[in-house]
Amino acid sequence: MDSIDIGLWVTGAMLVFVLLGVRVAFAAATAGFLGLVWIFSAKLGFDRGFLVAVKMAGTIPHSKVSSLALSLIPAFILIGFLAYHAGLTKALFEAAKRWVGWLPGGMGVATVFSTAGFAAVSGASVATSAVFARIAVPEMLKLGYDKRFAAGVVAAGGTLASLIPPSAILVIYAIIVEQDVGALLMAGFLPGAFSALVYGALVIFMAMTRKNFGPPVRGYTWKQRFESVPGALPIFVVVGIIMVCIYGGVGTPTEAGALGAFVILCMAIYNGSRWPELKASLMETAKLSAMIFAIIWGVLIYVRFLGFADLPSAFSDWIVSLEQSPLLTLLLILCAYAVLGMFMDAIGMLLLTLPVVYPAVIALNGGIDVTAAESAFGVSGAGCAIWFGIIVVKMAELCLITPPIGLNCFVVAGVRPECTVQDVFRGCTPFFVADVLTIAALIALPGIVLWLPGMMGYG
């Protein structure tokens, strides 16, 4: 049996583990380790092969996770939890309500924009959904909004944290495919804002076409609107820090995350947060960071096995050899992500698939050195790495609101006992359609993704 056959058997076994409910970190690590033993035993004999596999599996996590870029992840997550305890979420929602509440479906629009604003200081979609389920859903229910819509707009709005920087999942993508973290973070700004606008337009359309959808919020004076701005100002300060550090070349993304966390920490203390709140923020950050790093550790062992099995290059050769449109092949890959996302969490899904799928997409476009004019998708090789990253992260967002795993929906249902999981999934259905249209726009108009990175000299 050759190495590619071994790779296929081990990958199949890992997928069986995941479907049986084994955590992605343990499923990937186990499959990767057994695959390494199999590969090296075939070449060196079982005794030597086993020892080589043990040494490799033991050194891979430290050698890869010690990367400075990964320190961004706990920094971004900490920003989000500190912002919550600083009361910035309530201030942000109040400001959005006063400024856009007069629109049809105004409370829904305010929820979308406030979740987008909080996403700009939080790298975790689940945390965003949990926070606004406590704040926005009761407000909408008081005004007569349908509970399914109220829960659905919060769950869908929470997904924006995956795309709008600071985004932990974009950092993970950059590490896996060895691309510049700053370029990926900058590339997420416009698509994230575009997604928020699409959501907002959808809410307005629903309010204008459905009877008794929910009243707009009127009566705020211009003075009251401007009075709400200072409470939300720290959000814009953190966004400005990230933009200046990354786009202006003043500092690294890691320094931007650390400085942003410090600013929010000062604001939290100023707003009355004390040791219990700070301890809670640190503990939640540690728990979520440990979970993410555990997944990364396990998957890196599996990725190393894939390299020895030569499965990524074999898959790339097969994809390129298909006698069909490259665009159709890309769409089929994205459909596969949609199906896979029904059974796996977003981070685990990307970590497991990108080592194989990413080289195939780059080859499908014409290679890493291809120019935009000669490429299959109308983007250069370097641009394709960034463009595909945003699209695949947007697909990961989509999977957060699709059954049966849709994590954001379970979180909202857990926070709001009056809403069942089925209610939340039904409320998310229009936003699923909006996400599909957004992905189609990003594919058809790659400039939405590449304009900001292009200003930095990427793509």
Give the amino acid at 17: F
User: What is the Cα–Cα distance from 224 to 64, expressed in whole angstroms?
Assistant: 51
> 421-444 and 181-209 are packed helices; what angle lies between their axes, rounded to 10 degrees?
120
Which pLDDT tens digit goes with each residue over 108-157? 999 999 988 888 777 677 778 888 888 889 989 888 899 999 999 999 99
Q: What are the pLDDT digits (tens) for 263-288?
A: 888 888 887 778 888 888 888 888 87
Lookup: tokens for 3? 């190495």
Distances (CA, A) of 219 to 2, 206, 224, 417: 72, 23, 10, 31
| pLDDT given for residue 123 in this prediction | 66
pLDDT mean over 412-420: 86
Which is more confidently placed, 378 or 294? 378
Q: Which residue ranges make up each domain of the chain?
A: 66-287
Band of residue 459 on the pLDDT scale cut at 50, 70, 90: low
Predicted local distance difference test score (pLDDT) of residue 212: 80
What tens digit of pLDDT does each residue of 288-321 get? Answer: 788 778 877 887 888 888 888 887 778 777 877 8
Residues 6+ apart with CB under 8 A from 272: 87
Whether 380 shows a pLDDT value over 80: the answer reads yes
Count of alpha carbons within 13 Å of 338, Cβ hemisphere only? 14
**Farthest CA pair distance, the chain:** 79
At 260 the pLDDT is 82
User: In the predicted model, what is the mean pLDDT of residues 359-379?
Assistant: 90
pLDDT for the residue numbered 365: 92
CA nearest 200: which of 142, 116, 80? 116
pLDDT digits (tens, 9 = 90+) for 319-365: 778 888 899 999 999 988 888 777 777 777 887 788 889 999 999 99
User: Could you give the 3-state DSSP secondary structure of residue 2?
Assistant: coil
pLDDT digits (tens, 9 = 90+) for 210-245: 888 888 888 888 888 998 888 888 888 887 887 777
* 21 DSSP assignment: T
Q: Could you give the residue ranges of the DSSP H alpha helices within 376-420?
A: 381-399, 407-415
Q: What is the pLDDT of residues 3-43, one digit of tens each?
A: 888 888 888 888 888 778 787 788 888 888 998 888 888 88
Whether 446 has a pLDDT exceeding 90, the answer reads yes
How far apart are alpha carbons 77 and 19 in whole angstroms?
28
When pLDDT is cut at 50, 70 and 90, the band that residue 64 belongs to is low
| Nearest alpha carbon to residue 110 among 410, 23, 118 | 118
What DSSP assignment string belongs to 264-309? HHHHHHHTT--HHHHHHHHHHHHHHHHHHHHHHHHHHHHHHHHHHH
| pLDDT, the chain, mean | 85
Question: Average pLDDT, stretch 428-446?
Answer: 93
